[in-house]
Structure 1
Amino acid sequence: MFSRISKAIKAFRERRFVIIFSDNENEADLAIPAQEIVAESILFAARVASGLLCLALPKSRLQELEIDSLPS
């Protein structure tokens, strides 16, 4: 397990996506640090993941940006 976490941290430092798999939900997510997002990252994620693009922000910031949050 530690090896996987180390590899994920290394990938983040190299500005690469990591795949996070959930056994409970039987699905996988792509993750990348928000400060590394550029247009090419969004296009890549939309092309290969074919799903929702999500961003974790505090509620106060969502309100400032007038973005509706998804229900938990």
Structure 2
Amino acid sequence: MQGGVIFVRQGVDGTLCSHEVILSKPDDKDMEKILVNVKKFCSIFGYDCDKIISDEFVKITPKSKRPYGNLYIPGP
């Protein structure tokens, strides 16, 4: 993963993820961003927003700014 953040609804099996990412629980600020997008999605596709937002969400972020840097230029 090269920068940014990914939010996934429901559980994520950490054993299936790269060692270069961190799985964490979204904080309140993250949940505000998620809610805005879930509301937009539900209004377009007719889903129940309360049902979706009540599920668990997982935040996926890179461990470093250059997670694959060692593949190109080995570090110390």
The normalised TM-score by structure 1 is 0.32
- Which is higher, the Rg of structure 1 or of structure 2? 2
Q: Compare the two structures and name the one with the higher helix fraction.
A: 1
Q: Compare the two structures and name the one with the higher strand fraction.
A: 2
Greater RCO (Cα-Cα under 8 Å, separation 6 or more): 2
The normalised TM-score by structure 2 is 0.30
